[in-house]
């Protein structure tokens, strides 16, 4: 009996060793660097708050100090209030190079009283064209809300306040490109895109409302840090069932996903027949992106 218990303990311990991800969060000074915009980007409240600003001269942005190969990331954002037409607040993961991978949240501003457009996209090996867009069920400028990216070998899940809005599964076995090999860094920026962002560029930025400000807090990340060609998560972590690295949507969250897409999705590339006259991308027919 004792020998059996010892064996079980050893097995559990060995499985734990296979899953060694890093946890970050709580201080913007430690986790991020401001990359552009000079004093338009500021870390405040002893590292608890970060703000980005946009004026007529420039926007601003920041990026994570670490690079990740798979990650579960939460960030609370409060978007530009009032007349935000022409502005874009971005929050995304991206690798380097000409055949990059990328996982995008983009928040497209609008006239006062009109809803923001939440734009999502997935790039693999430099190719995107996988846009889905949503309106939110709350005012994202009135308070902070949590926007999450789960990227693991199973797939990618975009969530808002814990509610999944989009899932992009790993269907490499069916010929669908999926980001599994290129480490990515987390970026965010606030910039002017009034040539396309609001109603296809018909509504321009009202600079009398500047500076425009977006705020960030409560960054939290469970990640596999990539450093000098080595991951902080072993190759056995996924097969060992290591927590978020094998997480996917259960039935309850699948129902929430369908609720969001039924009520708040305003664009889905997988239903845009005019855009794909030769047939939809393969993941659409596999029902992985709809």
Tens digit of pLDDT at every position of the chain (290 positions): 444 444 443 333 333 334 456 787 779 999 999 999 999 999 999 999 999 999 999 999 999 999 999 999 999 999 999 999 999 999 999 999 999 999 999 999 998 889 999 999 999 999 999 999 999 999 999 999 999 999 999 999 999 999 999 999 999 999 999 999 999 999 999 999 888 778 787 888 999 999 999 999 999 999 999 999 999 996 555 544 459 999 999 999 999 999 999 999 999 999 999 999 999 999 998 864 44
Helix (H) or strand (E) holding 235: none
Burial letters 227-247, b for 16+ CB under 10 A, else e: eeeebbbbeebbebebebbeb
Q: Per-residue pLDDT tens for 169-201?
A: 999 999 999 999 999 999 999 999 888 778 787
- Smallest CA-to-CA distance from 16 within 208, 167, 233 is with 233
CA atoms within 13 A on the CB side of 87: 31
**What does pTM read for this prediction?**
0.89
Dihedral sign for Cα 12, 9, 226, 93, please: positive
Domains and CATH numbers, the chain: 28-233+243-287 (2.60.120.200)
Q: From residue 180, give the alpha-carbon distance in Å to each of 23, 123, 152, 185, 227.
A: 20, 12, 8, 14, 16
How far from the centroid of its chain's Cα atoms is residue 2's Cα? 47
Residues designated as active site: 102, 106
Selection from 254, 225, 268, 249 nearest residue 20 by Cα: 225
The helix (H) or strand (E) run that includes residue 17 is: helix 2-18
Tell me the residue length of the chain. Answer: 290
């Amino acid at each position: 009996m004792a020998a059996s218990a010892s064996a079980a303990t050893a097995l559990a311990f060995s499985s734990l060793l296979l899953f060694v991800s890093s946890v970050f969060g709580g201080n913007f000074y430690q986790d991020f660097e401001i990359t552009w915009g000079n004093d338009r980007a500021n870390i405040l409240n002893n590292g608890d708050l970060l703000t980005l600003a946009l004026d007529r001269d420039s926007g601003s942005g920041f990026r994570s100090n670490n690079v990740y190969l798979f990650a579960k990331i939460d960030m609370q954002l409060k978007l530009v209030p009032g007349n935000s037409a022409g502005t874009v607040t971005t929050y995304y993961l991206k690798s380097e190079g000409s055949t990059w991978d990328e996982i995008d949240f983009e928040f497209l501003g609008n006239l006062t009283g009109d809803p923001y457009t939440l734009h999502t996209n997935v790039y693999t090996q430099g190719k995107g064209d996988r846009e889905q867009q949503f309106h939110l069920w709350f005012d994202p400028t009135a308070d902070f809300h949590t926007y999450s990216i789960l990227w693991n070998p199973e797939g990618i899940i975009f969530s808002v306040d814990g509610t999944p809005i989009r899932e992009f599964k790993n269907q490499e076995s069916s010929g669908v490109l999926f980001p599994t090999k290129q480490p990515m860094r987390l970026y965010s920026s606030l910039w002017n895109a009034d040539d396309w962002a609001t109603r296809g560029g018909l509504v321009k930025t009202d600079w009398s409302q500047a500076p425009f400000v977006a705020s960030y807090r409560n960054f939290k990340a469970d990640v596999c840090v990539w450093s000098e060609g080595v991951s902080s998560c072993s190759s056995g972590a996924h097969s060992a069932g290591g927590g978020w690295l094998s997480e996917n949507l259960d039935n309850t969250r699948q129902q929430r996903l369908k609720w969001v897409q039924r009520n708040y999705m305003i664009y889905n590339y997988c239903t845009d027949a005019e855009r794909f006259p030769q047939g939809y991308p393969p993941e659409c027919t596999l029902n992985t992106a709809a």
